Amino acid sequence: MYNFEFVKPSSIDEAVAALGEDEAQALGGGQTLIPTLKQRLARPARLVSLSGIAEMKGVGAEGGVLTIGGGTSHATVAAEAAGSYPALAALAGNIGDPAVRNRGTIGGSLANNDPSACYPAAALGSGATIVTNAREIAADDFFKGMFTTALEEGEIITAVRFPVPQAANYQKFEQPASRFALVGVFVARGGDGVRVAVTGASEEGVFRWSEAEAALASDFSTGAIEGLSVPADGMIADLHGSKAYRAHLVGVLTRRAVSAAS
């Protein structure tokens, strides 16, 4: 790992100012960034730790909306969202392993937008709003393909707002070595219809399966999507699974999620 200057501000304003310098990068829980730095895939001159910013931590539910601070750990979400949004808490409680969940944050996960990460499916599947120091971004406009988001240089995720659906479920087919999702599907049924978000499968990163959404909107049952499948074209292929295998898993996991959510 190349060396860098380490700073740990205690407010969002200070963090944004510290990130204004050239070659500065935010540090969330470091569960992705530290391994990346060890491999010398990034070379920031300065790391701005977000872990000392109290206003970016915590979980609060009000009027059917769950707001999670961008610096909140997966373990805290698993514990504190269990009553208000059980499907989201279960997803957070199954990311990686306990030590990863104690450090990793929701803001870091969404900003990273790993094509196999769990939180992007929850944010897109719930129709969440990503709140930054500068603006609010709808999940539909946030994810721009593998490891790419709508965030500008130096912009930080300060909170994420989830409208709590009537029913939801996340099904993760775990890749046992990395513990990420080989494929994961988040299904949510709310006032505005049904959303189905798929992670781990597409070369474009997390996506909505609109055919399944349309079919489920009129009939929220596994039968409604029995014959539906996603094309294998554009799916990820690696040593863990072919394009066709991932496409198949999308159908299986969506049906499991619908059945668990109904």
Partner 1 sequence: MIQVKMTVNGKEKSGEVEGRTLLASFLRDTLGLTGTHVGCDTGQCGACTVHVDGVAVKSCNMLAAEADGASVDTIEGQAAPDGTLNAIQQAFQDHHGLQCGFCTPGMVMSAAALLKDNPRPSEAEIRFHLSGNICRCTGYHNIVKAIMAASGQDVSAIAAE
Ligand X SMILES: Cc1cc2nc3c(=O)[nH]c(=O)nc-3n(C[C@H](O)[C@H](O)[C@H](O)COP(=O)(O)OP(=O)(O)OC[C@H]3O[C@@H](n4cnc5c(N)ncnc54)[C@H](O)[C@@H]3O)c2cc1C
Binding site for ligand X (CB under 6 A): 25-33, 50, 70-71, 95-96, 100, 103-105, 107-109, 111-112, 114, 117-119, 156-157, 179-180
Residue 153 binds: one of partner 1, ligand X, none (C-beta under 5 to 8 A by kind): none
Q: Is 100 in the site for partner 1 (CB under 8 A)?
A: yes
Please state the φ and ψ torsions of residue 140, each to the nearest 5 degrees: -60, -25
210 contacts: CB under 8 Å, gap ≥ 6 = none
Q: What are phi and psi of 145, to 5 degrees?
A: 105, 165
Structure tokens at 51: 């872990």
Minimum CB distance to partner 1, residue 236 (Å): 21
Residue 257's φ and ψ, nearest 5 degrees, are: -65, -40
| Total residues interacting with partner 1, rule: CB under 8 A | 26
Residue 117 binds: one of ligand X, partner 1, none (C-beta under 5 to 8 A by kind)? ligand X
Regarding 6 and contact with partner 1 (CB under 8 A), the answer is yes
Indicate which single residue of 21, 25, 42, 51 sits in contact with partner 1 (rule: CB under 8 A).
51
Quick one: 89 or 215, whose CB is closer to partner 1?
A: 89
Q: Is 78 in the site for partner 1 (CB under 8 A)?
A: no
Cα dihedral sign, 140-141-142-146: positive
Among 16, 18, 19, 47, binds partner 1 (CB under 8 A): 47
N- to C-terminal Cα separation, the chain = 48
Give the Å distances, CA to CA, from 191 to 110, 163, 251, 254.
Answer: 25, 10, 24, 20
**Sheet bearing 59-62, strands edge to edge:** 59-62, 65-69, 157-163, 129-132, 136-138
147 binds partner 1 per the rule CB under 8 A: no
Residues near 153 by beta carbon (within 8 Å), at least 6 away in sequence: none
The binder of 109, among ligand X, partner 1, none, by C-beta within 5 to 8 A per type, is ligand X
Q: Please report whether residue 58 would count as binding partner 1 according to CB under 8 A.
A: no
Q: Which helix (H) or strand (E) holds 121?
A: helix 119-126
Asked if 146 is part of the footprint of partner 1 (rule: CB under 8 A), the reply reads: no
Q: Can residue 117 be called a binding residue for partner 1 (CB under 8 A)?
A: no
What is the rounded CA–CA span in Å between residue 57 and residue 201? 31
Least distance (Å) between residue 106 CB and ligand X: 8
Least distance from partner 1 to the Cβ atom of residue 89, Å? 15
Find the shortest distance in angstroms from Cβ 31 to ligand X. Answer: 3
**Which residues would be at the binding site for partner 1 (CB under 8 A)?**
1-6, 8, 27, 30-31, 34-35, 37-38, 47, 49, 51, 75, 96-100, 102-103, 179
